[in-house]
Structure 1
């Protein structure tokens, strides 16, 4: 094009049974985007995607997924997908593992890159080179009177984290061992599952706070973290009732109400702000909390089969330690394991006695239509702070969808957002003939269309001659796609 040459390479192979790989490269030698002043702003770059897997024998398997992006500016300038344009993470990992009985052993290499903006160095890079993991899922050790299960997680590896204003050592060692014991007590429909986990983690380095809440460098001193994690999950008898359903839904409809209460107490973590952050293992905090959850389910009986057509879960978490053992930094965005397991949106920017009320609604009343609506209602602000809803439907060869995303929190936690998604089209992938589709995203906050794309596709079959059998075959070897 007038911007320059674009190069694309796609190479796939299957050298032997149980082994395959794929390599993809896309790049643009950009002459530059012409501005009104006559200056050209170059936005070129390249990306690499590679994947492969192999059965190595004797229970061993290997897999890799390699992704590299030269600059985030290149992705935003030349991608043809809205989702890809706003997706700022580039993840690569490779592992070799073996599983037997209840055990699993593996060696992993990974690199996670998170672009914060289009500026060259505004990114967070987390690397594991390598990490050795040894796990065991629940293994029954007692069962005559009370069933008891034992499991554990363990890992050892070298890690590195780099972000603007902060960088760890090239190889920061981390050792972790977490054995867990769980039992189940049942009585007249009630089920109580108490558990205890001992977390022991050693870090070869720590954040150098120097009297402040934030750190710009690491200290050479080791750090040892241990925590006692007590939990109890109480499942109560569900309430059920069967109704006569409408014709469009089914002959019978069953309504099920499932109440649940969970308690957790984690103690012993007093140096949270000094802990280096590499993954979810490092955001465990001291806490005393209880969850109350109520789930409604609707099942419909259609032609002799039962399908779940609606699920609505409402839950809230009560914090008896509002500072999480002193880990909360007032006025800043705090990300703890307790909050990430509850909702995908951050909400802790001060000591909290309770979480937002989380509502998750999923509905599929008919096979050709679905709805999902997630909301966070925060009693602290007395409003819905986060809401995401999307609905899709298909009528024969016509499909359409609508979605809306809104964020109304505090500036310290996340910027506000108000966006509308529209998509639709006609046709189906994998079928010969014409098809068309449209996707658009409108931003009410910016009062402009952020993204829009329209595609018209013609898919045909190819005929080929097989000289080995000397017959003309009308076999499908691939789809030719024209856009």
Structure 2
């Protein structure tokens, strides 16, 4: 299907979409968009590589491919490819707030076979990150070719011992403002582990885990990337203790309290600063830590409410020299406790992480996480997600807040304060009236970044849809009206596409 558009201030644009179902278990969905920006908008040349005579031209193209299918012998293939020529093109011409506001460009393709105990995957992965108005991502991470295999926990003979294995062979590459690696840097990874359940009972659970990880890189990071192999041989020990559980029955509901203590020691990964990061395999560092927590649960016939409070203590506050003061530090030990970044230098204690989940019925749920930094005595970050789905009504709200992380030469993480919400009545198949509204509000700058209101009316013969929308983010500043008229089993006419509807 071809769609042509003409913008009175910018010029022609269009899209080509192909959908095919070659077989019962396969699908192909291709979406190619293109535009020629004849007018552009004012810009500062030093702020963009796309400036021409002090004008920013957002023309370009994007390609989205989503396909999957069965290949026999238990193998399944999936490709989800996203390519865009520049960030201004995405913000000006593409649709959907999540797409317009995202600086990320993800592409993933894999061939996989999963048995109950063994998983084998061949994959291609690429991530591009735009920071400025450029025609190339400022950070590009690629993994191809890659072969990965894993064995789930298996009993070792008749012994009270379980073993597991993760291994992989990959060609990786990274390009950013500081380094550019060769096209293929070989990486070999082998990670066997053994778990010994010391105690299993209704009151206590105690297990020990030993693991080894051998990771070999054909290149390492010195002042630049050099062809000096890096061999990272790490030894890991972990001990997990849960219980005892304290219970009290109140008749129609029950309260359970369970403490947990998890100790983890890893050594041998003391050259993190010589490793360039592409995925989670490269985020391993030395650590000597203990995580302690307390979980509360309230039940009726199912869990109504849970609340967990946890914190980590780091016996090695530098993580084997991986930490750098005054910088944003991201690696495995600090990501395990919270998804919010907090490591701006050596520290003994992580923030106290409080996570709650409330589900009063099968149609409602609310998740809340709050991180309190005991070192700086302030709330470091918070996030909440809530949703409801009852009959023809559904809605959701999300709010995320992070504080500024200050380094010696300025902010290493800017503050963030975002609120989003959606309210829907009806669906695209419902006869009669349907409506939906969504918004995104930047609390930090008191700015509505986007809002969409949609209305639809269906009969047994035809359907009408209307949309009012507003965007104020990056290079996208506009208010608009769109509509669509559709006839059952024939087609539709208008500018509001089916995949862009909220209901």
Q: TM-score range by the shorter chain?
A: 0.7 to 0.9
Where does residue 275 of structure 2 map in the other structure? Answer: 275
1:292 aligned partner: 292
Matched-pair contact (CA < 8 Å) for 1:32–1:43: no
Q: Aligned to 1:365, what secondary structure does the other structure show?
A: coil
In structure 2, the partner of 1:50 is 65
Does the aligned pair in 2 maintain the 1:48–1:68 contact within 8 Å?
A: yes
- Contact kept, 8 Å, 1:460 with 1:481, in 2: the verdict is no
1:231 corresponds, among 235, 238, 251, to: 238
Deviation per CA, 1:96-117: give whole Å up to 9, x if none: 2333452222221221112223
CA contact (8 A) 1:399 1:425 kept: yes
Structure 1 contact 458–481 (Cα < 8 Å) conserved:
no
Distance 1:40 1:180, change over 3 A: same
C-alpha displacement at 1:476, in angstroms? 7.8
Which residue among 206, 217, 220 is the counterpart of 1:192? Answer: 206
How many residue pairs get aligned? The number is 451
Q: 1:285 to 1:455 in 2, by over 3 A?
A: same
Deviation at 1:405, TM superposition (A): 2.2
Deviation at 1:387, TM superposition (A): 1.0
**Could you say which residue in structure 1 is the equivalent of 2:382?**
387
Per the TM alignment, residue 39 of structure 1 is displaced from its structure 2 partner at its CA by: 7.8
Whether the aligned pair in 2 keeps the contact of 1:459 and 1:481 (CA below 8 Å) is no
Verify: 1:110 aligned to 2:125, yes or no.
Answer: yes
Asked if residue 311 in structure 1 is aligned to residue 306 in structure 2, the reply is yes
Alpha-carbon distance, 1:383 to partner: 1.1
**1:362 is the counterpart of 2:357:** yes
Q: Does 1:139 align with 2:146?
A: no
TM-score (ref. length: structure 2): 0.83
User: Could you say which residue in structure 1 is the equivalent of 2:183?
Assistant: 170
Q: What is the alpha-carbon distance in structure 2 between the residues aligned to residue 149 and residue 478 of structure 1? A: 59
Are the aligned partners of 2:84 and 2:105 in contact in 1 as well (CA < 8 Å)? yes
Q: Residue 253 of structure 2 contacts residue 298 of structure 2 at CA under 8 Å; is this kept in 1?
A: yes
Alignment of 1:323-362 (within 5 A): 323-362=318-357
Does 2:190 align with 1:220?
Answer: no
Contact 2:41–2:57, Cα closer than 8 Å, also in 1: no
1 CA distance for matches of 2:177 and 2:293? 40
Query: Does the 8 Å CA contact 1:461/1:479 hold for their aligned counterparts?
Result: no
How big is the alpha-carbon RMSD for the aligned residues of Structure 1 and Structure 2? 2.6
Q: TM (normalized to structure 1)? A: 0.86
Q: Shift in Å at residue 46 of structure 1?
A: 2.1
Unaligned residue ranges in structure 1 (runs of 5+): 210-216, 245-251, 301-305, 464-474
**Could you list the runs of 5+ residues in structure 2 that have no partner in the other structure?**
1-6, 44-52, 463-486, 497-503
| Equivalent position of 2:221 in the other structure | 207
Distance 1:416 1:143, change over 3 A: same
Contact 1:122–1:164 (8 Å) recurs in 2: no
2:99 is paired with a residue whose SS is helix
CA drift of 1:237 comes to 2.9
1:2-51 deviation per Cα after TM superposition (whole angstroms, max 9, x unaligned): 13233222212222343322211222333334569x98642222221112
Q: Quick one: structure 1 residues 282 and 461, their matched pair in 2 at CA, closer, same or farther if it must change by over 3 Å?
A: farther
CA distance in 2, matches of 1:239, 1:481: 63
Counterpart residue number, 2:145: 130
Mapped contact 1:347–1:409 kept (Cα < 8 A): no
Question: Conserved in 2, the CA contact under 8 Å of 1:121 and 1:164?
Answer: no
Task: Please state whether the residue corresponding to 2:302 is helix, strand or coil.
Answer: strand
**Higher mean Cα deviation, 229-238 or 44-53?**
44-53
**CA spacing shift, 1:27–1:258, aligned 2, 3 Å:** farther
State yes or no: 1:157 paired with 2:209: no
Tell me the residue number matched to 1:249.
none
